[in-house]
C-alpha cells in the first residue's frame, strides 16, 4: 500500500469572496469547529451551551460572536480554522467585530 493512500487528506475550503458575510464566515467556522469532538466539547463547556441550544441558536449573532471569540481565545485554533476556510485569521476577528457591532 502506498504511504500516500494511508494518510488522510482534506482539501481546505478556499475563500473566493473577500467581502464575505460575517455570519456566513462564522457559520463556516462553527462547522469547522464541530468537526473535532474534543474541540466541540471544549466549546460547549466554555460557552455553557448544550447541543440542542447550539442547534437552535446557531444562526443567532450572539452565538456566532461566542464561536468566533472562542476561536480567538486559542490562537492555534484560530490559525487552523482560518487556514481551513482559506481566509486570514484577521478575517475571523473582523467577522466577530462586525457581528458585535451589527
Whether 76 maps to a domain, the answer reads yes
Which residue numbers in the chain have pLDDT < 70? 1-19
Determine the distance from the C-alpha atom of residue 42 to the mean position of all C-alpha atoms in its chain, rounded to a whole number: 13
Whether 85 maps to a domain, the answer reads yes
In tens, the pLDDT along 74-89 reads 999 999 999 999 999 9
Instruction: Quote the domain boundaries for residue 47.
Output: 22-100
Whether 86 maps to a domain, the answer reads yes
β strands within the chain, DSSP E: none
Whether 27 maps to a domain, the answer reads yes
pLDDT of residue 20: 80
| Residue 80: CA count within 13 A, CB half-sphere | 13
User: Rounded to whole angstroms, how far apart are CA atoms 102 and 28?
Assistant: 19
Number of structural domains the chain divides into:
1
Contact (Cβ atoms closer than 8 angstroms) between residue 43 and residue 99 = no
pLDDT of residue 12: 52
Average pLDDT, rounded, for the chain? 87
User: Rounded to whole angstroms, how far apart are CA atoms 53 and 57?
Assistant: 6
pLDDT of residue 27: 97
Amino acid at each position: 500500500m502506498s504511504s500516500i493512500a494511508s494518510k488522510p487528506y482534506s482539501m481546505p475550503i478556499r475563500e473566493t469572496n473577500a467581502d464575505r458575510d460575517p455570519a456566513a464566515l462564522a457559520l463556516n467556522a462553527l462547522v469547522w469547529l464541530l468537526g473535532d469532538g474534543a474541540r466541540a466539547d471544549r466549546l460547549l463547556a466554555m460557552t455553557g451551551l448544550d447541543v440542542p441550544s447550539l442547534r437552535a441558536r446557531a444562526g443567532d449573532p450572539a452565538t456566532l460572536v461566542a464561536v468566533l471569540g472562542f476561536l480567538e481565545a486559542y490562537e492555534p485554533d484560530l490559525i487552523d480554522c482560518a487556514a481551513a476556510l482559506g481566509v486570514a485569521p484577521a478575517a475571523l476577528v473582523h467577522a466577530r467585530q462586525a457581528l458585535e457591532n451589527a
